[in-house]
Structures are given as structure tokens and as C-alpha cells.
């Protein structure tokens, strides 16, 4: 053991900071969260052990199930729209027919660097029922105004659009980097064989982006399940568009029920772990 340590001492020392940070900022907080989820703790004082009482409350909490359902909607819509738009926009930005590609790449990335709170406030004005731009456009077309943020039927739409609008540029750049790494020899050989642009896209570009899209799907899954800013800034009636992460925050810092909020956090960790494992299994079978 001592000989092994002396032989690999330098590599171990290089990776030691990661494990220290992981222990302090991830592993210990996860263990602490699970412990607090088994207590009735208000954030101050001594935690009072309550067993699985908080988890039993979750089963009959309609607000929790509403937030869970909303988050599933945000996850699926984000996964579909953001990935599709990212691949489509990245393909356009890589097209030789597009002039000034560097300028368009810069413009495309701008929504991602804008402050989330500021963009949320702008979207709130755009979707205002009385003076919002979208309702003004609908009125000019002879259609009625839509209660975007005051109706349980439509309140998720502004949140979904803001989420897609803010995150698509980042994943577009990731997909674009993957497209640029594909060897041009494949496309030249395909052109010689008579393959048109559509066939080159489906038989060369998409298969070559498999690992990139898998990484994007994992990242999008994590981001979607911890969505907070969008639903917090664009609140709908009741819990019609409340995300699970937002409900956890409100349970902990508005009601000061830290034990209940920690139970929601444990459920969130479990869901993300299961979804990540499922995605990895599916990806492995695809590679085989």
C-alpha cells in the first residue's frame, strides 16, 4: 500500500482537491438533507425526529403532485424543443451558404448571457393580458386576448417559452462544436456517392452527434428538474405552473418547514438519479 502511494502520490495529490470539494459541497449536504428530511425542523433549534412523516405528507399533498406534474411538462418540452432547435440552428450556422456566420453565432448566443430575472420581467410584460405584445398581435389579427398568466390552462406556456429561449443558445453552441468536429471527408465522400444535403444530415451529421446529444440530454434533464427562475418570475394562479424546485424553496424559506423541503429535495435527487441511469442504459444499448 505504501509503495503504491509513493508511486502515484503526485496524481493523487492533483485529484485530491476535487474529492475535498465533492465531500464538502455535495456528499455531506446530501447526507444532511436526507437526515433533515426525517425531522420536523424549522431552520432553528434542535431538529425533532419524525421518521418518514414528511414523505407520508408528500403522498397526500396535491400541491406537491401539481409541481411534480408541471416539472415533467417542463422537462419533456425542454428536452424536445431545445434539442431540436439546437440541432437545426447549429446546422444553419454551419452552412456555407450563410454569410456573416461569425456575426450570427454571436447574436444567437446573446439570450444565454442575459440576466434571467431581467428576461423574466420582459416576458411578463410581453404576456400581460391587457397591454402585452402577444395579445396586441392577437387582437390585430381579429383574435381574442389570452389570459396567459391568469389562467391555469395557459400559464405554463410563458414559462416553457422563456426556458426554451434562454437555454437553446447554449446547447446550440455545444451541438455546433460537435458538427465542426465531424471530418469533412465524410461529406465529400457522400457527395461523390450522390447523397444530397438531407441524406448527409440524417446519415452523417446526426449519427456523429450521438455522444454530444446524449450529453445535452443529461444536462437538460438536470436543468429542467431544477428549473426555478422562469416559474418564479412568471407565476400563474395557484400551483398551475409552479416547478418542483420552486415548491421546495417555498416550503423551506416561505413556510420555514425545512424538514418537508428536504424531503422534496431527496425525492428530486432520486428522480434525477433514476432518469440519468435510464438515459445511460438507453445510450449503451444504442451503441451496442
Over residues 269-285, mean pLDDT: 87
- In this predicted structure, what is the pLDDT of residue 202? 87
CA distance 179 to 183: 9
- In this predicted structure, what is the pLDDT of residue 171? 94
Over residues 186-190, mean pLDDT: 85
Condensed to tens digits (0 to 9), the pLDDT of residues 142-167 reads 888 888 988 888 999 999 999 999 99
Instruction: Name 48's bridge partners.
Output: 40
Q: Is the pLDDT of residue 29 over 70?
A: yes
- In this predicted structure, what is the pLDDT of residue 25? 87
CA distance 282 to 200: 25
Condensed to tens digits (0 to 9), the pLDDT of residues 89-108 reads 998 888 877 777 778 888 88
All three cell numbers of 141: 389579427
Which of the residue ranges 6-10, 113-117, 270-274 has the most confident prediction, judged by mean pLDDT?
270-274
Contact between residue 208 and residue 94 where contact means Cβ atoms under 8 Å apart = no
- In this predicted structure, what is the pLDDT of residue 225? 93
Q: Is the pLDDT of residue 33 over 70?
A: yes
Condensed to tens digits (0 to 9), the pLDDT of residues 45-92 reads 888 888 899 999 999 999 999 999 999 999 999 999 999 999 999 988
Amino acid at each position: 500500500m505504501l509503495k503504491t502511494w509513493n508511486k502515484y502520490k503526485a496524481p493523487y495529490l492533483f485529484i485530491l482537491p476535487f474529492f475535498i470539494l465533492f465531500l464538502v459541497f455535495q456528499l455531506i449536504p446530501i447526507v444532511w438533507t436526507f437526515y433533515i428530511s426525517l425531522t420536523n425542523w424549522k431552520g432553528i433549534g434542535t431538529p425533532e425526529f419524525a421518521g418518514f412523516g414528511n414523505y407520508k405528507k408528500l403522498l397526500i399533498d396535491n400541491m406537491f403532485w401539481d409541481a411534480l406534474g408541471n416539472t415533467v411538462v417542463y422537462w419533456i418540452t425542454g428536452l424536445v424543443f431545445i434539442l431540436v432547435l439546437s440541432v437545426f440552428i447549429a446546422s444553419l450556422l454551419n452552412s456555407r451558404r450563410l454569410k456573416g456566420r461569425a456575426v450570427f453565432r454571436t447574436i444567437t448566443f446573446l439570450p444565454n448571457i442575459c440576466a434571467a430575472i431581467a428576461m423574466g420581467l420582459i416576458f411578463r410584460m410581453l404576456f400581460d393580458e391587457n397591454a402585452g405584445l402577444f395579445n396586441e398581435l392577437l387582437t390585430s389579427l381579429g383574435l381574442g386576448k389570452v389570459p396567459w398568466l391568469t389562467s391555469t390552462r395557459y400559464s405554463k406556456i410563458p414559462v416553457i417559452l422563456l426556458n426554451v429561449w434562454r437555454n437553446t443558445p447554449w446547447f446550440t453552441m455545444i451541438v455546433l462544436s460537435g458538427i465542426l468536429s465531424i471530418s469533412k471527408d465524410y461529406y465529400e465522400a457522400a457527395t461523390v456517392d450522390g447523397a444530397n444535403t438531407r441524406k448527409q444530415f440524417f446519415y452523417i451529421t446526426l449519427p456523429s452527434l450521438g455522444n454530444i446529444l446524449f450529453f445535452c440530454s443529461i444536462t437538460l434533464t438536470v436543468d429542467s428538474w431544477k428549473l426555478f427562475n422562469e416559474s418564479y418570475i412568471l407565476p400563474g394562479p395557484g400551483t398551475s405552473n409552479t416547478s418542483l424546485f420552486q415548491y421546495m424553496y417555498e416550503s423551506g424559506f416561505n413556510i420555514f418547514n425545512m424538514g418537508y423541503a428536504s424531503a422534496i429535495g431527496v425525492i428530486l435527487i432520486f428522480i434525477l438519479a433514476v432518469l440519468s441511469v435510464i438515459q445511460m442504459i438507453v445510450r449503451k444499448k444504442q451503441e451496442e
